[in-house]
Amino acid sequence: MTDLLNGTISSTLAPEVRQQLEQAPTDYRELVEWVTEIAELTEPAAIYWADGSQEEYDRLAGELVEAGTFIKLSDHEFPNSYAAFSDPDDVARVEERTFICSETEAGAGPTNNWRDPVEMKQTMTDLYRGCMRGRTLFVIPFVMGSLDATEPKYGVEITDSAYVVCSMRIMATIGSDVLKKMSETEAFFVKALHSVGAPLEEGQQDVAWPCNPEKYIVHFPETREIWSFGSGYGGNALLGKKCYALRIASALGHDNGWMAEHMLILKVTNPEGKSKFFSAAFPSACGKTNFAMMEPTIDGWKAEMVGDDIAWISFDAEGKPRVVNPEAGMFGVAPGTGWSTNPNAMRAISGGNTIFTNVALTDDGSVWWEGKTDEVPEHLIDWQGNDWTPDSVRPAAHPNSRFCTPIEQVEMLAPEFSEPDGVPLSAMIFGGRRKTTIPLVSEAQSWEQGVFRGVTLSSETTAAAKGAVGVVRRDPMAMLPFIGYNASDYFRHWLDLGEKHGEENMPGIYYVNWFRRTEDGGFAWPGFGENSRVVKWIFNRLEGKADGQETLFGVVPTAEDLDLTGLEISDEEIEAALAVKVDEFETELAGIDEWLAKFGDDLPARIREQRDDMAARIEAA
């Protein structure tokens, strides 16, 4: 199609590859030049532009079956689905190998790993040199959010992994339509480079899951580039997700007046048919996916999902917030997702078209993971290929095993999911896992107080992550691993948006804790679908139709203010769930002070004032 590279393509490339570059399905010069530059560096055996079609997906999946990367599952439970098994050293996001390479160290501080961008590019260029030998370089044009958005958010991922191409087709809108519109408008796109870092020499036998022990997940926030090397797993490799839609997008949002947040999006409709949209941020292992797909237990209330992981929030001409889910799929943790805990997720996965990674195989050609069914199979092949029986000590599925499923298969998906410019946002909910201190629900009394709640958001560690269990960790806005620039600037951005658009336009901020314990150690609140009672209180507060009590921790409902109809809960339990105790908040304040010290003088004064306000409230209580 294009002759714009005539005479400029390096002669070191194989003639077929040169020809494939000359026949690129676009004449967007900046894109073709970038692909050429990467091809010259990485020396692939072939170049392939993904068109995003079903035929292409089926063909690549077939090739992955041939290569031993995919196992085609029997169609009886999960039609048109595959299981993949990763290298045992490539099973999760690698935060210690994740870098924000801003021009200055302060630009990434103090919560991110930083390296000088020039040095990092040198190091990684050496790693990328010849790294695609014997492999195909895939070009994936993609858009996060709708292609019909007022300003579509484009990216192009170059990868040498067909598993990544198939997964990206589920997680984003990819292919020819995207390439066409992006090229016609010569639109800005995020350059996202990925290699598993495992070149194949002449005659070398490939492995099922190629990767490299040396891993780098690198972001250049000023130039909006992503360079990933060595891992083929999840957020390390599907670069539209955490790397673009959170880290790079948070930097884009900072510079352009919007927000990229680690939040689910929920549509809630009351019995009168009135709807509101909420977003919610929870650190990992706090039931975010379950909340995104909840089934209300109270009569007449309806919940529908808009998103399960990421929310982009912008402001319309009147300064009113609107929210979109930039993703087209779910990349959910399998263990703990089951017919009894999250039937909506199970129904979505049962629609098929799913890629499972690191779950266990059943004897009838399907898959299983801990928590999928209450009944445990007699025999499985575990995620590492070993025989497994209920006596086995190790889990059958890796604790971070995943399902990757198209979001349209979620039956309770809100139709507004596909609104190109999103839906109005009424409230943001922060939540964490805390045995003590934090009440079931509280309402921030101002935007600034709400931002302070986010800055100091905390959760107790669970067995899901390595390290001690039950330790209180701060995770600001549940964004600790995803803030793509300086965290104090990120807090300031939140505060500034409130000043710019005015308190009356900003969403209400609520803080929930489903995990409070009673004196005897049991959960004070039943959680799951019963959380709809808390959602109802939030909804009605926004309507001016629910009461609460002013406490040192904002407005908290009394038992009478909550709809507890039909709920079996003792007075002691509900009291424990809603309690605001001065001594617990004295301890909390000490923990907050320790956390805020990390930001030094850089911490916005408005956050310091909120801290002092909290101290004064504790003093006065």
Beta bridge partners of 397: none
- C-beta of 275 vs 341, nearer to ligand PEP: 341
Q: Which residue is nearest to ligand PEP (CB)?
A: 235
**196 binds Na ion per the rule CB under 5 A:** no
Q: How far is it, in rounded angstroms, from Cα 422 to Cα 494? A: 20
Q: Shortest distance, CB of residue 370 to Mn ion, whole angstroms?
A: 20
Question: Rule CB under 5 A: which of 290-309 touch Mn ion?
Answer: 309
- C-beta of 309 vs 588, nearer to Mn ion: 309
Beta bridge partners of 511: 430, 442
Stretch that binds Na ion, among 169-177, 364-372, 454-462, 556-564 (CB under 5 A): 169-177
* Residues contacting residue 292 through CB under 8 Å, at least 6 positions apart: 264, 265, 266, 280, 305, 307, 308
- C-beta of 234 vs 399, nearer to ligand PEP: 234
Contact of residue 251 among ligand PEP, Na ion, Mn ion, none (CB under 5-8 Å per partner type): none
Q: Shortest distance, CB of residue 400 to ligand PEP, whole angstroms?
A: 8
**143 binds Na ion per the rule CB under 5 A:** no
The answer to whether the CB of 236 falls within 8 A of the CB of 215 is yes
**443 binds Mn ion per the rule CB under 5 A:** no
Stretch that binds Na ion, among 83-91, 147-155, 164-172, 256-264 (CB under 5 A): 164-172
- Using alpha carbons, select from 55, 85, 61, 20 the residue that is nearest to residue 165: 61
285 is in an annotated binding site: yes
**330 binds Na ion per the rule CB under 5 A:** no
The answer to whether the CB of 148 falls within 8 A of the CB of 231 is no
Q: What are phi and psi of 534, to 5 degrees?
A: -75, -40
Residue 48: how many other CB atoms lie within 10 Å? 16
131 is in an annotated binding site: no
The answer to whether the CB of 242 falls within 8 A of the CB of 212 is no
CA 292, distance to chain mean position in Å, is: 13
Task: Fill in the DSSP letter of residue 417.
Answer: G
Residue 225: how many other CB atoms lie within 10 Å? 19
- C-beta of 13 vs 263, nearer to ligand PEP: 263
- Using alpha carbons, select from 232, 221, 146 the residue that is nearest to residue 422: 146
**164 binds Na ion per the rule CB under 5 A:** no
Contact of residue 234 among ligand PEP, Na ion, Mn ion, none (CB under 5-8 Å per partner type): ligand PEP
Q: What are phi and psi of 113, to 5 degrees?
A: -75, 140
344 is in an annotated binding site: no
- Using alpha carbons, select from 148, 590, 110, 75 the residue that is nearest to residue 366: 75
Contact of residue 242 among ligand PEP, Mn ion, Na ion, none (CB under 5-8 Å per partner type): ligand PEP
Residue 203: how many other CB atoms lie within 10 Å? 6
Q: Shortest distance, CB of residue 481 to Mn ion, whole angstroms?
A: 9
Q: Shortest distance, CB of residue 235 to ligand PEP, whole angstroms?
A: 3
SS3 167: helix
Q: Which amino acid is at 575?
A: E
Binding track over 304-333 against Mn ion, x by CB under 5 A: -----x------------------------
Q: How far is it, in rounded angstroms, from Cα 504 to Cα 151? A: 26
- C-beta of 157 vs 309, nearer to ligand PEP: 309
Q: Shortest distance, CB of residue 289 to ligand PEP, whole angstroms?
A: 9
287 is in an annotated binding site: yes
Residues near ligand PEP (CB under 6 A) are 93, 234-235, 241-242, 284, 309, 331, 333
Q: Would residue 211 show up in a list of annotated catalytic residues for this protein?
A: no
The answer to whether the CB of 432 falls within 8 A of the CB of 459 is yes
- Give the pairing type, strands 189-195 and 153-159: parallel
Q: Which of 166, 211, 243, 286 is catalytic?
A: 286
- The helix, strand and coil proportions of the chain, stated in percent and rounded to the nearest 5, come to 30, 20, 45
Which chain residues interact with Mn ion by CB under 5 A? 309
- Annotated binding-site ranges: 93, 233-235, 242, 262, 284-290, 309, 400-402, 433, 528-531
Which chain residues interact with Na ion by CB under 5 A? 169, 173, 328
Active site (catalytic) residues: 286
- Annotated binding-site ranges for GTP: 285-290, 402, 433, 528-531
